[in-house]
Amino acid sequence: MLEILLDATVRAGTPILFATLGAIINERAGIINLGIEGLMLIGALSGFAATLASGSLLLGVIAAFCASFAAGSIHALICVQLRGNQIVSGLALTMFGVGVTALFGRGVVGQTIDGFERHAVPLFSQLPLVGKAFFNQDWLIYLSFFLVLLIWFFFYHSRWGLELRTIGENPAAADACGIPVNLYRFLAVAVGSGVVGIGGAYLSLAYTPMWIENMSAGRGWIAVALVIFASWSSVRALFGAYLFGGITAMQLRFQAMGTTVSAHILQMLPYVFTIVVLVISTRRLQKGASQQPGNLGLPYDREDRK
């Protein structure tokens, strides 16, 4: 029972993990992105459509990354180059994603594909309790493990990561050191958006290998809250995403067991937990215990340097 629940937790938490990692890359550069929900939908539809047309899951993942990369580039153009309002641009991106996927996804609603299959890691998959949950999964889940470590290494053990963190903290100081602030910010937003798109592709290519309108079901908003909860750390994001995944898995398990609690109340649990997380995170911010980038949400103009 516990092994099955843990396995369901990992699978339910993976799309949130990809979305959170992408949002962390955005915000480490100082750019808020509230378009995560829309980017997940764009990734889900483009990945599904590409796989349906080509029969290749790999092409589906690449298409999801590229489509979300392109959509995120619009947000980057508005926020970095034109110094527009990041909140408004992000909300517009979400509405754009919801609308455009509903429009172009009508023709493939209900169609199915052969999604990603599980691949057991020799020896490790036989471990008690955690073996099946972590070492007998599909390639996208293994990719999420790799990305957590890669992003952690990038930010804390590479020169480019240090420069990007500096831009998020103090872009004027980074500019004075010769770091191309706008280029770094643009690439961070675009690449982070692409990673979010892979989270959407996980929904349509692995979790439920089909396209359903608005299938992200609010996971993008959960990821936005989870970035704060994880203190902009990829490793903490892993645990946070599985925490949300565990709540989702439990409410599905309760429904399968025929509990007398209303299904609507059970479906509310992840979002209620999101509100609780935001309250806790806000308290931490007020106490100065957060690692929020110092220049988060603020546009940078070289002419404004003091």
Query: Residue 247, exposed/middle/buried by CB under 10 A (0-12, 13-18, 19+)?
Result: buried
How distant, in Å, are the alpha carbons of 12, 239, 247 from that of 125? 19, 20, 24
pTM of this structure: 0.93
Q: What are the mean pLDDT values of the chain's consecutive 10-residue runs (306 residues total)?
A: 87 95 96 96 97 96 97 96 94 96 92 92 88 92 96 96 94 93 96 97 94 92 90 92 87 76 78 82 72 87 69
> What are the strands, taking DSSP E only, across the chain?
119-120, 136-137
pLDDT of amino acid 252: 76
Distance of CA 222 to the CA centre of its chain: 9
Q: Helix 219-229 and helix 2-28: axis angle, to 10°?
A: 70
What pLDDT, on the 0 to 100 scale, is given for residue 306?
56
Q: What is the CA radius of gyration of the chain?
A: 19
User: What pLDDT is stored for residue 257 in this prediction?
Assistant: 76
For residues 249 and 9, the answer to whether their CB atoms sit within 8 Å is yes
C-alpha span between 48 and 113 (Å, rounded): 8
Could you tell me if 14 and 144 are in contact, meaning their C-beta atoms sit under 8 angstroms apart?
Answer: yes
Gap between the Cα atoms of 168 and 32, Å rounded: 11
Taking CA atoms, 113 is separated from 57, 138, 210, in Å, by: 9, 15, 6
Q: Which two tokens stand for residue 191?
A: 């690449």
| pLDDT value, residue 290 | 67
Identify the sign of the CA torsion 19, 20, 23, 24.
negative
The pLDDT, as a whole number, for residue 198 is 97
Rounded distance between C-alpha atoms, residue 227 and residue 84, angstroms: 22
Give me the helix-helix angle, 263-286 and 219-229, nearest 10°.
30
Q: Looking up tokens 């903290």, which residue turns up?
A: 169
Enumerate residues 6+ apart whose C-beta is below 8 A from 77.
186
Supply the DSSP string of 156-206, one letter for each residue.
HHSHHHHHHHHHHH-HHHHHHTT--HHHHHHHHHHHHHHHHHHHHHHIIII
| Whole-number pLDDT of residue 288 | 66
Pairing of strands 136-137, 119-120: antiparallel
Could you report the per-residue pLDDT of 241-273, keeping only the tens digit for each?
998 888 888 877 777 777 777 777 877 888 888
- Residue 215 and residue 10: Cα distance in Å, rounded? 18
Residue type, 98: V
Decide: 151 and 227 in contact? Cβ < 8 Å: no
Helix (H, G, I), strand (E, B) or coil at 110: coil
Helix, strand, coil content of the chain in percent (nearest 5): 75, 5, 25
* Backbone φ, ψ for residue 277 (5° rounding): -60, -40
Strands (DSSP E) contained in 8-109 are none
109 beta partners: 211
